[in-house]
Structure 1
Amino acid sequence: MPVNVKDVMTQRVISVGENTRFKNIAELLVTHAVSAVPVVDSDGHVTGVVSEADLLHKEEGRERFHRENCPPPQTRPDQGPEADKARGKIARELMTAPAVTVSMDASVATASRLMEHHGVKRLPVLDGHGHLAGIVSRHDLLKVFARSDRDIEREVRVDVLVRSLWMDTSRVQVAVQDGVVTLSGRMILQRDTQIAVWMIRQVDGVVDVVDELAWDRDDTPAGGRD
């Protein structure tokens, strides 16, 4: 079965309230060796994330906006989000908002795409009520590739070929080594071989698919050869 975020997420989450002070946040990051913490309101909803970058941005901003040789106040660029964050003292003022979150029932592929699109390394995970349920990191997502070859082979044979595609697999051989699935033997239709390969590529933990299948009849629009 497909692996969802809830299957790989870390349930024990280090989070902070909106009024948590800068120093306390920094201590949490250092003590727990994490690079970011979700910020939650009094109802348990995630309102933002404070990262190492956010805290360092404050220090950078302090130097930029308050060094001795800075321009006079009337010309100093002390307005806008950067300046606000540089003056921030509590989580609500320091955090990056809104937070990029993911549902605990989302697939690991969805979580991976969100991380890639937003350039983040971890995502707060929400339950069905929108409350913080865990956190998922890039490291967690890599767990799907640690599935045993035996588990992958079973899913390919049972869930993909038989249950999903209703195929007669008596003439099909499935071999899995280090996450690479090799299909050999014959199927009745060429289109069936194409669909099977495509679906197997979507199986969690599959690194690649080697297609060595033959077919009895070419039913593709352009025709072909056996």
Structure 2
Amino acid sequence: MYHRTVGEIMTHDVARARPGTPYQDLVTLLRLRRVSGVPVVDHDDKVVGVVSEADLLRLRTGGSPAVLRERRPGLPPLLPAHRRPRAVRARLAVTAAALMSTPAITIHPGQRASDAARVMDRRHVNRLPVVDEEDRLIGIVTRHDLLRVFVRSDEAIHAEITEVALPAVRTAPPGAVTVSVRDGLVTLGGVADADGVAAMVRSAWRVDGVTGVINRLTVGGGRGSN
């Protein structure tokens, strides 16, 4: 059985902040990138924490936080710095280092998407920075990414595999390979040549919504493997 990995579903273009990034710049970053949180990295791109929209909202005062002003285009902009109340000026001087959750909960690209889902659920987080062997940031995986993988009907998965994924391999005649899907788990049966078996499994595995692939394909006259 094969499983989708974090590296296959993660977002590579990651919005990020530095420990010294000011509050207002964090607000602007989240607004412009349309994300609800960002990793905080040091000078070597190693993840030291995560700042979320919830962290920014904790600084609100008087029921009208700067975050909400920035995220609602209809509201007036903040006052110039010299006209802001002292409490507001103090709030805006706060940096990512003071706001971030640390240590950051991270994951590696080779881990399974299902592992990422379990970590998010257990640690009550909405995103996981993806790091390499040296803990440098290389991507991010979010609940939305996982939903895109797991929340899809078996019928839609079956249609994409049979109409798009397997025909692209072109290693078996029509009807030689059977496909069944149950709760996202794909079972491949039938006959294919040696090169085609691995290619078909990979193609099926990469279809969104697939949680695993069982290979029951037969190579020539031999037996397939599970």
Q: TM-score, normalised by structure 1?
A: 0.56
What is the RMSD of the two structures over their aligned residues, measured on CA atoms?
3.4
Partner of 1:124: 129
- Cα distance between partner residues in 1 of 2:160 and 2:4: 12
Is the CA contact (8 Å cut-off) linking 2:22 and 2:93 kept in structure 1? no
Partner of 1:39: 40
Structure 2, unaligned runs of 5 or more: 65-90, 163-177, 189-208, 213-226
- Cα distance between partner residues in 1 of 2:101 and 2:145: 22
Alignment of 1:135 with 2:136, yes or no, is no
Is the CA contact (8 Å cut-off) linking 1:149 and 1:179 kept in structure 2? no
- Cα distance between partner residues in 2 of 1:106 and 1:25: 29
Is the CA contact (8 Å cut-off) linking 2:4 and 2:210 kept in structure 1? no
- Cα deviation code 1:38-95 (max 9, x no counterpart): 00011111000111111111225999xxxxxxxxxxxxxxxxxxxxxx7971111111
Task: Give the counterpart letter for 2:6 in structure 1.
Answer: V
Task: Give the counterpart letter for 2:26 in structure 1.
Answer: I
Task: Give the counterpart letter for 1:105 in structure 2.
Answer: G
Partner of 1:54: 55
Q: Percent identity?
A: 41
Alignment of 1:100 with 2:102, yes or no, is no
Task: Give the counterpart letter for 1:91 in structure 2.
Answer: A
- Cα deviation code 1:134-187 (max 9, x no counterpart): 00011111333458327879xxxxxxxxxxxxxxxxxxx86337847699xxxx
Partner of 1:197: none
Q: Residues 2 and 45 of structure 1: is their aligned pair in 2 closer, same or farther, counting only changes over 3 Å?
A: same
* Cα displacement (A) at 1:129: 1.6
Q: Residues 176 and 109 of structure 1: is their aligned pair in 2 closer, same or farther, counting only changes over 3 Å?
A: closer
1 or 2 for the larger relative contact order (CA 8 Å, sep ≥6)? 2
Is the CA contact (8 Å cut-off) linking 1:152 and 1:176 kept in structure 2? no
